[in-house]
Amino acid sequence: MINQNKKRFAVLVLSTVMCWVSAAQAQPARPIRIVSPFATASVSDLTLRLLAERLGPRLNTSVIIENQPTGGGIAAARAVLTAPTDGNTLALLSNASAVSVTTFKKLPYDPVNDFVPVAGISQFAYIILSNDQEGSRSFREFLDMARTKPGVLNVGTAAPGTTPHLIALLLKKEAGIDFAIIPFKGAADLSVALMRKDVHVFINAYGAVRENLRQKQMRAIATTSSERSKLLPEVPTIQETGVRGFDVSSWNGLFAPNGSPAPYLARIGQELHATLVQPEVNRKLLDLGIEVWPSNAAELGAKMRAEVARWGQIVKDAGLETN
């Protein structure tokens, strides 16, 4: 009887210890550090800081945003991968991270195998824009012009290897049309080029052209995602204009280095999800030009794997030079 009681006592002690360990793993012990490859005051940065204010109290700690916008995201990724794997250092990775796998000859990290997904944050569709005065009145009109005058029309994008540039390459392939792609250094140069009629249409994010749209200097003629944008619900998608299956969005999410404690990451993901679905957060992020994407770890991981494969093939088919 005494031995039986000792066994029960040992089981009770072990169970209690395991509960303490599990609770310790799920409870933040130190401030959470999110390393971002985007510059301070960028849309991604403003998004993170908005979420950090609300996420910290939910996790009973502070959330610190660290910007390392150099080296095509490599510096930020390295900073996370060299940090302790205690779950307190996270990386903001995005569709650009997936593209980098192919556009960099020797990328010193693997976004699929070196990181584990935590949770998705946000996404937004890109916009096809024309000059409001003399440009294409609709995306169908642009497609018809491109088909009747192959190689004549110009499409302005950001630098080679960026998402807008890859969208243009994908559009040529999926729509079966030909046009010249003209990369520009920045959104301001793109806008000037469109208004000067140096390009017929150009591809950009809503946040970069919001004022131009409000002042009716440009016209949004299509969006790139599979569903209409909440920012421009009156604008049809490229799919709706006849290019079946066309679906491109910019997206980002939180990742942790391999070996980070799963219970801890799960709690961060749960609290982030609860933060993102708040109506006030939705509204404020829409004001920044993005939509919330409160996806779980499995969905985020699947997204990254699919994007690496998809853009890798497009980059290879286009013969783009790698860095």
CATH code at 137?
3.40.190.10
The distance in angstroms from the start CA to the end CA of the chain is 73
Q: Are 99 and 170 in contact (CB under 8 A)?
A: no
Residues 133 and 215 in one domain: yes
Residues 100 and 179 in one domain: no
Residues 116 and 189 in one domain: no
How many structural domains comprise the chain?
2
Quick one: DSSP state of residue 134?
T
Cβ neighbours for 248, distance < 8 A, ≥ 6 positions apart = 125, 126, 163, 166, 167, 170, 224, 225
Q: Report how far Cα 151 is from the mean position of its chain's Cα atoms.
A: 31
> Could you tell me if residue 217 is inside a domain?
yes
Residues 114 and 257 in one domain: yes
Residues 131 and 110 in one domain: no
Nearest in space to 126 (alpha carbons), one of 293, 294, 290, 312: 290
Residues 118 and 146 in one domain: no
Distances (CA, A) of 17 to 22, 47, 238: 9, 39, 56
pTM over 0.75: yes
> Could you tell me if residue 232 is inside a domain?
no
Quick one: DSSP state of residue 320?
P
Residues 212 and 148 in one domain: yes
Nearest in space to 302 (alpha carbons), one of 238, 229, 253: 253
Residues 151 and 172 in one domain: yes
14-53 pLDDT, tens digit each:
443 344 344 444 555 589 999 999 999 999 999 999 999 9
Domain membership of residue 202 as a residue range:
125-223
Q: Is the pLDDT at 8 greater than 70, yes or no?
A: no
119-140 pLDDT, tens digit each:
999 999 999 999 866 557 899 9
Residues 149 and 152: their CA atoms lie apart, in Å, by 6
Residues 218 and 129 in one domain: yes
> Could you tell me if residue 283 is inside a domain?
yes
